[in-house]
C-alpha cells in the first residue's frame, strides 16, 4: 500500500447504547480524563468525581467527540490496583457525565468486569491497552454490551521484533483473531499502535510515526495516542504538561498519514491543529 495516498472515506463505527460515530472525513478527538493519583502527566488533577466531570465537560466544549475515562495509571512502574478500586474511581464519573452530556464516553480498562459495569453506567467504547490479550473474557464483554472497541498494541513484558511494523502486524492480527472467535465484528474495532507502550526510545516512536501509514494494511481505522509522550519531551525538551504543541505537531503529521482518532490531554490545541490538517487534506488535487 502506498501510505502517501490517504483516503478519508466514511466508516461507521457502531457503539453501545445505539450510538455510532463516523470516522474518516474529519479527525475525531478523544479527550483524556485520568481519575488517578499517579498518571504520568495528569495524575491527581481530578481528585474528586466533580472535578473529573467538569474536566470532561470542558473537553467536550473544546471539541472532543469522546472522553476517555481511566482509573488505573498505565505509566511504567505504576502500582497495580484491583478491579474494585478501579471501578470506584471511574463508575461515578461515567454515570455523572452520561447524565449531564451526550458526549461519547470511553472507558480505559483491560478488565472485562470493569468494561461491563462501565457500559451499564453509560460508556459507549472500551479502550483496552492489552487488545483482548490480558483478560480472556474481555472480547465476550464487548460483544455482550455492544460497545465499540479500541485495541492497542502493547510490547511491554517482551522484546520488540526487529521490524516494529511487523511486530504491530503480528500482535494486532492476534487480537483481531480473538475478536473474530468471540463474535466481535471488525466494524466495531479501532486499532491503536500504542506509542510508548514498550517502545522505550525516542527513535522507535519516531520511526512508528514515520511508518504509520503502513498500518492501514490491517484494515481498520487507526487511533493515534502520542499525547505528552516521553519521545515528544526528548525532541522538545519540555516537561509533560508543556507538550501540547509537540503533541499537536504529531497529530497533524499522523492525520496526513491517515489516522482517524486522536487521544489527547490538550483538546483545544489539537482540535485546531486537526481542523487545519483536514483543510489541507480537502485541498489536495483530485487524482
Active site residues: 229, 263
Pairwise CA distance, residues 186 & 177, whole Å? 10
CA distances from 41 to 36, 83, 143, 164, 260 (A): 11, 23, 33, 26, 24
Q: Which three cell numbers stand for residue 286?
A: 483530485
How crowded is residue 61: how many other Cβ atoms within 10 Å of its Cβ? Answer: 12
Pairwise CA distance, residues 160 & 204, whole Å? 10
Q: Is 55 exposed, middle or buried (0-12, 13-18, 19+ CB in 10 A)?
A: buried
Pairwise CA distance, residues 95 & 100, whole Å? 9
Amino acid at each position: 500500500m502506498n501510505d502517501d495516498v490517504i483516503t478519508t472515506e466514511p466508516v461507521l463505527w457502531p457503539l453501545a447504547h445505539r450510538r455510532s460515530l463516523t470516522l474518516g472525513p474529519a479527525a475525531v478527538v478523544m479527550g483524556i480524563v485520568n481519575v488517578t493519583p499517579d498518571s504520568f502527566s495528569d495524575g491527581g488533577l481530578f481528585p474528586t468525581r466533580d472535578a473529573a466531570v467538569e474536566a470532561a465537560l470542558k473537553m467536550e466544549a473544546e471539541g472532543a467527540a469522546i472522553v476517555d475515562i481511566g482509573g488505573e495509571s498505565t505509566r511504567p512502574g505504576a502500582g497495580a490496583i484491583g478491579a474494585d478500586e478501579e471501578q470506584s474511581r471511574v463508575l461515578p464519573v461515567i454515570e455523572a457525565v452520561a447524565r449531564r452530556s451526550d458526549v461519547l464516553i470511553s472507558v480505559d480498562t483491560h478488565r472485562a468486569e470493569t468494561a461491563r459495569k462501565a457500559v451499564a453506567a453509560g460508556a459507549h467504547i472500551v479502550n483496552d491497552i492489552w487488545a483482548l490479550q490480558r483478560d480472556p473474557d474481555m472480547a465476550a464483554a464487548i460483544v455482550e454490551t455492544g460497545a465499540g472497541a479500541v485495541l492497542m498494541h502493547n510490547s511491554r513484558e517482551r522484546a520488540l521484533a526487529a521490524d516494529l511494523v511487523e511486530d504491530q502486524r503480528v500482535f494486532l492480527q492476534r487480537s483481531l483473531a480473538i475478536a473474530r472467535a468471540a463474535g466481535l465484528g471488525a466494524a466495531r474495532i479501532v486499532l491503536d499502535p500504542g506509542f510508548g507502550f514498550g517502545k522505550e526510545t525516542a527513535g522507535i516512536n519516531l520511526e512508528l510515526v514515520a511508518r504509520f501509514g503502513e498500518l492501514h494494511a490491517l484494515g481498520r481505522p487507526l487511533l493515534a495516542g502520542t499525547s505528552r509522550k516521553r519521545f515528544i519531551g526528548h525532541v522538545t525538551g519540555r516537561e509533560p504538561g508543556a507538550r501540547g504543541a509537540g503533541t499537536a505537531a504529531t497529530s497533524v503529521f499522523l492525520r496526513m498519514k491517515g489516522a482517524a482518532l486522536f487521544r489527547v490531554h490538550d483538546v483545544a490545541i489539537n482540535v485546531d491543529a486537526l481542523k487545519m490538517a483536514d483543510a489541507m487534506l480537502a485541498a489536495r488535487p483530485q487524482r
